[in-house]
Amino acid sequence: MPLHPDLRSALSALLRATDGVGPVIRSAKDGALRANSIVNWFSSLYREIGAVGCSSHSGRRTFITNAARSAHRAGASLRDVQLLAGHRSIETTQRYIDGDTDAQRRLVQYL
């Protein structure tokens, strides 16, 4: 899976620091977090920064929306975004992509 260079560097540093053993994000008991614990962890992080209406899925939605908006600059298509998201159906990917009223206005001006 393609990774952003900054993320690749951070993960490589983490791998070196932990000798590649164990989970990336650890529980208070130093073990792996369960799925529900990760959901709760994200909720507490969003609460700490005052982000209202965010969930553990918000980052995924943001990534997919930003990827869809930038695909043309990379020579990619929505199919590439679908594959990165791991969706079987392009319709599923479309549900993740948020609209932008200002972008719609600019687009109409180009026509």
Who contacts 104 (Cβ-Cβ below 8 Å, separation ≥6)?
none
pTM above 0.85, yes or no: no
Which residues are 26's β-sheet partners? Answer: 32
- For residues 34-58, b (16+ Cβ closer than 10 Å) or e, as one string? eeeeeeeebeeebeeeeeeebebee
Asked if residue 28 has pLDDT above 90, the reply is no
C-alpha to C-alpha distance for 55 and 61, rounded to whole angstroms: 10
Instruction: Calculate the average pLDDT of the chain.
Output: 90
pLDDT band, very low/low/confident/very high, at 2 (cuts 50, 70, 90): confident
pLDDT band, very low/low/confident/very high, at 34 (cuts 50, 70, 90): confident
Query: Tokens standing for 82?
Result: 């679908």
Angle between helix 58-70 and 78-85 (nearest 10): 160
Domain ranges of the chain: 1-56, 57-99
Residues in the chain: 111
Per-residue pLDDT tens over the stretch 77-97: 999 999 999 999 999 999 999
